[in-house]
Amino acid sequence: MLKHKKKLFFIFVSIFLLAGCDSSNVIQSSHTHFFDHYFIYPFSLLILFIGNMWLHQSIGFSIMLVTVGVRMLLAPLNILQYKNQLSNKRIQPQLKELKEKYKDKDHESQQQYQREMMKLLKENGANPLMGCLPLLVQLPVFSIVYYAIRRIDEISASSFLWLDLGHADPYFILPIAAAVATYLQSKVMQSDVEGMNQSHAVLSRILSPLMALSFGIFSPSGLVLYWMTGSLFMIFQSFVLKKIFQEKVALEAK
């Protein structure tokens, strides 16, 4: 249930952030809007510089490379999130014991259950809200990428493979690829989440790619490319973190 709430929160805040900019005007260096001047315009210059100078004028490859760069900058937060997931996984048996111990629904029992649960989480360094932090950091970046694509003519008018980066994919190939990548990301990241209700896990695994597909059908291809590249990077990062921490646990066991 918490995962569904986070997805709804993601959608709500995304709409709020996207509405905070004037999408009707092309952004220029003299733009006085704070978000335009200090975030969107410099970010668009970075995409154009990399694409024009290093990648043979391929703005699409530039968006993919910048996405990887953004994800690498966010990697420390994702590592903290992964460690938190492992901590939650480790204390699941104790949480189940607490739930059984305080199965009565009276107010006093539930209060005691909450106190002991929070104490257990604190002692083991497990924070149930840690999963929201990387998501919150990604929201403004997502908004910046959206407006850089929509409001910078040189980016929106660029082509990449069969795509017009400023318009939706007419063949729906990229949205389908983004949906598949999102499904695989959900599956890989849920594999280390213990104690999650199975029906909620399956529902989340279905809803995530459906949301990505719906979003991709109507969104500029450049933004869908950013989304898909980010999902692929997260899959790769999850496998790397799993291998590193499994080896660490094995060494500690010796």
Q: What is the pLDDT along the chain (254 residues), one digit of tens a residue?
A: 444 444 444 544 454 444 444 444 555 555 557 778 788 889 999 999 999 888 777 999 999 999 999 999 999 988 888 888 877 878 888 888 888 887 777 777 778 888 888 888 887 777 766 667 777 788 888 888 898 888 888 899 999 999 999 999 999 999 999 999 999 988 887 765 554 555 566 777 788 899 999 989 999 999 999 999 999 999 999 999 888 887 776 565 55
* Residues 150, 220 contacting (CB under 8 angstroms): yes
> Amino acid letter at 174?
L
> Amino acid letter at 197?
N
**Per the confidence metrics, is the pTM higher than 0.85?**
no
**DSSP type of residue 164:** E
Q: What is the C-alpha to C-alpha distance for residues 178 and 215, in angstroms, rounded to an integer?
A: 10
DSSP count for the chain of H helices, then E strands:
12, 2
DSSP bridge partners of 159 = 164
**Number of alpha carbons in the 13 Å side-chain half-sphere of residue 101:** 12
Q: What count of other Cβ atoms lies within 10 Å of the Cβ of residue 223?
A: 23
Tell me whether residue 200 is exposed, middle or buried, using C-beta atoms within 10 angstroms of its C-beta: 0 to 12, 13 to 18, 19 or more: middle
